[in-house]
Amino acid sequence: METAIEKLKSLKIKVTRSRVELLKFLMDNKGHFTAEDIFKRLQAQYPNLNLASVYNNLNLFDEHGMIRRLYTHREKAVWDADARAHAHFVCDVCGEIFDLDLPLIPEKYYLKYSGSFKVSHEEIIFRGICNKCAKKENI
Amino acid sequence: METAIEKLKSLKIKVTRSRVELLKFLMDNKGHFTAEDIFKRLQAQYPNLNLASVYNNLNLFDEHGMIRRLYTHREKAVWDADARAHAHFVCDVCGEIFDLDLPLIPEKYYLKYSGSFKVSHEEIIFRGICNKCAKKENI
DNA sequence: CTCGCGTATTATAATCATTCTAAACAAGCG
DNA sequence: CGCTTGTTTAGAATGATTATAATACGCGAG
């Protein structure tokens, strides 16, 4: 298992405290986070950390394909610590994001557009209501 | 063909100038627009129109299922004048949104999650580079 | 047709996520 | 160990969207 520092070095990214703490957090807490989420949770162990650094490095990690920015919520950016392509379900009531382990859409599905653009990533989002919220609303 | 006013009346939405102009625009210009786009293009025929009204009514129309807010771009909201479910391709370079006429994902595809949530809408976005931008970058 | 209520619009200010700026600092190379 | 360059920091700026409060208007009741 590669450590955070090893991973940064292998990608030729300068090793700084912000980056190590951020990457450790992402490796230990697979999930979906806003910059603010992460910032708050890292402050305990690194009080001088700046929110701008969290943004900078989330963007940096995203450019390196280490994480993936999701476009699930309009109000704020959410990053997925798991960069592998996978579908999501988003609850319209509570806003929670669920990972779905589903096969990718085969290329033949959109073959008729293959002359018009080159697809590098596909994003599948199902929206609706999760079980938890459905139960609450029926009371 | 239903007029904008008829459509508003049939939905029991109060008929105001802002709404009629906005709805006419959306019916005549099927496409993808930001609130600002629409605001600017309506100012010629309705100089007193306020941007806040554009936002209010885009949200209202969205709630009535007349249009659909897309989650394709992080910086600003984009509305699709065509509310029917369809996939999109977004160019990472120029940002343009293309409509794709593709079949919906069959329910059996995500059957294993049918006990966990109720899907009311699916969103499929392909990202990559469009032909136009690909040509430019090769020069 | 007119009145009056309730809602929409307007202009402006507020909000809030994200990015920018400039100065201080630190990583890592020689 | 010092230099160079890129990073962090604190704070300010930006920009999309929403809130506020006063005015105007739609439209149903009479």
Q: What is the DSSP string of B24-85?
A: HHHHHS-SEE-HHHHHHHHTTT-TT--HHHHHHHHHHHHHTTSSEEE---SSS-EEES--S-
Sheet holding A97-100, edge to edge: A97-100, A87-91, A117-130, B117-130, B87-91, B97-100
- Identify the CA nearest to A24 among candidates A1, A50, A47: A1
**Over the stretch A65-116, which tens digit does the pLDDT of each residue have?**
999 999 999 899 999 999 999 999 999 999 999 999 998 888 888 899 988 9
Put simply, whether A55 touches B (Cβ < 8 Å) is no
Q: What is the pLDDT of residues B10-64, one digit of tens each?
A: 999 999 999 999 999 999 999 999 999 999 999 999 999 999 999 999 999 999 9
What are the backbone angles phi and psi of residue B17, rounded to the nearest 5°? -60, -45
In chain A, CATH 3.30.1490.190 sits at 85-138
Pick the CATH number of A85-138 from 3.30.420.40, 3.40.718.10, 3.40.1800.10, 3.30.1490.190: 3.30.1490.190
Q: Within an 8 Å CB–CB cutoff, is residue A130 touching chain B?
A: yes
Nucleotide nearest to A34 (CA to C1'): C17
CATH 1.10.10.10 boundaries in chain A: 4-79
Nearest neighbour of B120 by CB, restricted to A115, A121, A128: A128
Closest residue by C-alpha to C1' distance, nucleotide C19: A52
3-class DSSP state for residue A17? Answer: helix
Nearest to B88 by CA among B101, B76, B106, B77: B101
Percent of all residues in chain B with a pLDDT value above 90, rounded to a whole number: 85
Searching chain B, which residue's CA lies closest to the CA of residue A120?
A: B128
Rg (CA), chain B: 18
Kindly determine whether residue A128 and residue B121, on different chains, have CB atoms separated by under 8 Å: yes
Instruction: For domain A4-79, give the fold.
Output: Arc Repressor Mutant, subunit A (1.10.10)
